[in-house]
């Protein structure tokens, strides 16, 4: 059975829109495209290389697929990511059944995206790695399909834009299984599933009258 692994570059306020360049995704008036580039150093490159070291297929939303298909097949031959992305399978989620795939080894997930992803997960094969794809990620999170999250937190606040968790994610606990910090201050963390959310309490066993009054006044 395959795992679904999320790979994401995220600002401190949770934004992951247009990390690669100013024209990547300016929708919604986003003004800070390319915000990752100033922080990308040797250790960040090592973290990305580690994420791509094991066999994987790509699981992409349509907009990210368009961005990748217009870039990676055209990089210099000495860039290892371009040839790697070319030869692996790429599974694409889109609401347009007539969407035309132009990049080799690309496959549409079909009308029922959740069912298609569940089927892929149940099969033998390499893990399924997401990149970008903020809209598609919300579907994966909502339907409890994500097994691992590799997220790099960049020391920048962007104010507005598309978020890693846009709302409606399936609740669950995570376990930190790896972490590294780059010289530019980027923290890259790897999380895996750790069961259900557990809760506790720092409250008094017997609440004070002030606390009881506070609860009565909650709206």
Dump pLDDT digits (tens) for 125-175. Answer: 999 999 999 999 999 999 999 999 999 999 999 999 999 998 889 999 999
Measure Cα distances from 126 to 3, 24, 55 in Å: 8, 28, 5
| Token digits of residue 58 | 């790509």
| The Cα angle at residue 11 between residues 185 and 2, in degrees rounded to 5 | 100
- Residue 32: name the closest of 12, 7, 15 by CA: 15
Q: Tell me whether residue 135 is exposed, middle or buried, using C-beta atoms within 10 angstroms of its C-beta: 0 to 12, 13 to 18, 19 or more.
A: middle
What's the confidence (pLDDT) of residue 188?
97
% of the chain surpassing 70 pLDDT: 100
| Count of all residues that appear for the chain in the document | 219
On whether the CB atoms of residues 137 and 63 are closer than 8 A, the answer is no
SS3 132: coil
The predicted-structure confidence for 22-63, as pLDDT tens digits, reads as follows 999 999 999 999 999 999 999 999 999 999 999 999 999 999
| Segment holding 151, helix H or strand E | strand 148-154
pLDDT of residue 144: 96
**What is the pLDDT, as a whole number, of residue 35?**
98
Q: 3-state class of 33 per DSSP?
A: coil
Question: What are residue 85's phi and psi, to 5 degrees?
Answer: -65, -30
207 pLDDT tier (thresholds 50, 70, 90)? very high
Q: Do the beta carbons of residue 127 and residue 2 sit within 8 Å?
A: yes
The secondary structure element, H or E, covering residue 191 is: strand 187-193
The predicted structure's pLDDT at residue 98:
85
What is residue 209's three-state secondary structure?
Answer: helix
Does 19 have pLDDT greater than 90?
Answer: yes
- Residue 39, pLDDT score: 96
For 87-112, how does the pLDDT look when each residue is reduced to its tens digit (9 = 90+)? 999 999 998 888 999 999 999 998 89
Task: Locate 101 and state its tokens.
Answer: 């795939």
Decide: residue 42, CB within 10 A, 0-12 exposed, 13-18 middle, 19+ buried.
exposed
Residue 219 has pLDDT above 80, yes or no: no
Confidence of residue 71 (pLDDT cuts 50, 70, 90): very high
Q: What is the pTM of this model?
A: 0.93
Domains of the chain as residue ranges with CATH: 4-216 (3.40.430.10)
């Amino acid at each position: 059975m395959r795992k679904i692994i999320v790979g994401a570059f995220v600002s401190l306020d949770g934004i992951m829109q247009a990390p690669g360049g100013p024209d990547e995704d300016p929708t919604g008036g986003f003004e800070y495209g390319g915000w990752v580039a100033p922080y990308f150093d040797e250790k960040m490159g090592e973290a990305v290389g580690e994420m791509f070291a094991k066999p994987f297929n790509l699981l992409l939303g349509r907009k990210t697929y368009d961005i990748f298909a217009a870039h990676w097949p055209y990089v210099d031959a000495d860039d290892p990511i371009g040839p790697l992305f070319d030869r692996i399978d790429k599974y694409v989620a889109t609401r347009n059944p007539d969407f035309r795939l132009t990049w080799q080894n690309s496959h549409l997930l079909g009308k029922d995206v959740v069912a298609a992803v569940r089927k892929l997960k149940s099969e033998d094969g390499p893990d399924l790695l997401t990149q970008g794809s903020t809209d598609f990620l919300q579907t994966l999170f909502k339907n409890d399909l994500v097994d691992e999250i590799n997220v790099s937190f960049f020391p920048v606040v962007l104010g507005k834009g598309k978020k890693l968790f846009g709302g409606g994610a399936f609740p669950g606990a995570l376990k930190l299984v790896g972490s590294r910090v780059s010289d530019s201050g980027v923290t890259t963390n790897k999380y895996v599933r750790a069961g259900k959310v557990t809760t506790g309490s720092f409250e008094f066993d017997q609440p004070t009258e002030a606390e009881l009054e506070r609860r009565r006044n909650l709206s």
